[in-house]
Amino acid sequence: MDQVTRRTRAVITRYHKAWVERDIEAILALYHPELEYYDFFNNLQLSYADMADYIRTGMPRSEEHRLEHIDRIRVDGDTAFIQYCSRLSLRRSSRLASFRASEAVTVKNDLIWRVHEYATMVRDTPMGRQNQGQRLGLSKQHLSIMLLDLEQFFSSRTTFLEPGFDLTRLAETIGYTRNQMSYLLNQVLGLSFYQYLSQARIDWMLERLKENPALRPDDLAFMAGFNSLSVFYRCFRERTGMSPKAYMKQLASKNS
């Protein structure tokens, strides 16, 4: 390994470590004052002065929202190539809530001078749909934050159990437009609003049944906002793979 490659690898290793540790100051310290940063997913060209706000927006906010490298870091002379996945663990659709990205990085004077970042949704989305997200003002960072806000809402509130709860009310409650929320659910999670809502209601019911197996699923169905038992039975089977009766029998055998 030549000396230039060794020095580049040292810089990129520190860069990687700073992102893993979510150390914004350490990341900024590695950027060259004449930095040229190209984000091709969002069609942005950024300079050093833009990077503090840009990083804070895209920085993983917890261990559950994390960056995972999907290949070894490749270094050749003053350039490096990094591939990673930005993954968010959600209870209902985690396998779809992620972005795959790669960065071609050029190092100059032991600082990162140029970055070309390319990102795509892991779930295949037609180009027209990606353009729709851009028209709605949704970058990959915004979508990641929206996913966290969505999960936080359904984990900490119970207003979604009300029979009249709808997409407009959800969007207004957590601070987005109806179209933005619809795009997140349909194109990123691959679910309609009512599919996601039904899953959340069934999850709420399952928690109540675990706490008190003496409860009757049919009674809980109406408490969870279902207006029809036939719809409830269908949604329950889709979520658990069995009927409420079979589920309660299984739960009873586990508790005996």
What is the DSSP secondary-structure string of 153-219? HHHH--GGGSTT--HHHHHHHHT--HHHHHHIIIIIS---HHHHHHHHHHHHHHHHHHH-TTS-HHH
Distance set, CA 36 to CA 19, 46, 67, 90 (Å): 19, 6, 22, 34
pLDDT at residue 71 is higher than 70: no
Domain end call among 121, 136, 171? 121
Q: Which of 89, 121, 153 is the last residue of a domain?
A: 121
211 shares its domain with 145: yes
Question: Are 94 and 148 part of one and the same domain?
Answer: no
Same-domain check for residues 138 and 239: yes
Q: Give residue 11's domain range.
A: 3-121
Give the CATH number for residue 185.
1.10.10.60
| Model confidence at 37: pLDDT above 80 | yes
Q: Which of 4-13, 104-113, 148-157 has the lowest mean pLDDT?
A: 148-157
Quick one: 223 and 138 in the same domain?
A: yes
For the ranges 88-97, 181-190, 235-244, the one whose mean pLDDT is highest: 235-244
145 lies in the same domain as 233: yes
Mean pLDDT within 52-65: 71
Count how many domains the chain has: 2
Indicate the DSSP class of residue 71.
S
Q: For residues 196 and 185, is the Cβ–Cβ distance under 8 A?
A: yes
> Do residues 161 and 236 both lie within one domain?
yes
Same domain, yes or no: 133 and 117:
no
Question: Which amino acid is residue 37, in one-letter code?
Answer: Y
- Is the pLDDT at 19 greater than 80? The verdict is yes
Which position has the higher pLDDT, 167 or 91? Answer: 167
pLDDT at 235 exceeding the cut of 80: yes
Q: What is the CATH number of the domain that holds 12?
A: 3.10.450.50
Which amino acid, 202? I
Same domain, 18 and 111: yes
**Are residues 148 and 97 part of one domain?**
no
